[in-house]
A and B are shown apart, each in its own frame.
Chain A
């Protein structure tokens, strides 16, 4: 709206009304799409929610005996996401700081375009590399029989979300106006003080947004994870053992949706899992919004 009103110095009510209506329609449409998706998922989940003795919140999955425990894939999804985060976020943040604060703008553009290229590689390619090399390396490193384990999936996901997180974080840092840095330096602050005291607080919201987008990708990634995680419907033992095979919600869906008949309780259980996945993503978004706006109000 702003650009439009700036371009038309004289008020041109009719055209502006049309633009406004278009924008509103788009906004309404996206809300409608999200609600329809959520509603569909919820309705399709009903058969399993109403089917009684199905062990929905247990760890046993055996459609033949009517056991649809979602705990193992749910745990797997969260666990893999955590590993990916632990790998990607520190590296991403430090690299972004290095690029934006210490390199010339020309070099920055070169590095960034390479990184954006990485973000554009289809996930199946990462999956194939994971199956061919990464899982063999991981197996050798830990002396395992197979590298198709939770850790491999986490590492692979970490590599996959790194470019997204890095490039958006770097955007957020570079968006802090140059004169802030100059002013701070002229006050005699050291470089690290400038970053800690001036740039980071300004870029914080952008970095959090980058983190969320990366988390979303980590949670939703299917193909690459499916190929390297081992597809074992069981909680690892001990629970936080990343060296055992596991299952995520997405890999479970990828493996089994083709096998379940539409409308069956089995299908419904799979839909319910995706409903939970979507709910987690939405909860993350709302939580971070709340958290960030409150923090900003404090400043």
Chain B
């Protein structure tokens, strides 16, 4: 019962849309916990409830042992929060932004310098530059600094890497890793499935529901059937042909290959692979190669969401 974040059956609606549909999970001390899922899944709503900016329609949430509804004033003094969009002052400089947020929490940059040095040292050469003139990656680092400067007891970062270039994303996660070594509990949301492997544990989120809460390896292990990567020339035709294969369960493009699962659950991966090769070769495709593959988080996400039908529109025919 020493969880840092505890969420139980959270429900939140906005008009006819259900943003959160009974979400429950826990985060332990010192964990780097990822909430992973595409846009519209409810990640931002979840974060806003955790930092007390929204009130759930039902369910409970505690952060640092404080109730997110009742104890919101105390909570707001102790969390470090990065909102979804860049939420610092674009017309203030790097240093001015940081000084402001330090002062609002009753401290100074000088006093907390050691805390934020690993990140701030990257920003310091630009400390007089206006925040609006920073690159995407720099903006996010500044936002992280401002969230950390008052020594929060937990970090809640809502999509800090969205829209940022690949290099800055990696650097950001490196920074998160180093902060975790300092023992700070961090909850991060991201739409990028590949970032899931950087977390201790993740929660897959889709249309307001959790599809699974586990370590990345655990999530992948829950894939449930053998996965085969298939390569063939003329990708599109191969895709259509393979979909028509009698034993095909799912065929999805994954870059240069296709990820294939078979309807025959008891057959091992390598046999499935040779069957598929034979099938495609028989259809006249060249450069055919198939081999078993360890599923990734993305594969699991796809498998779990494939069976969910598209929602009927909430207000068909009527536009409020």
Partners in one complex: no
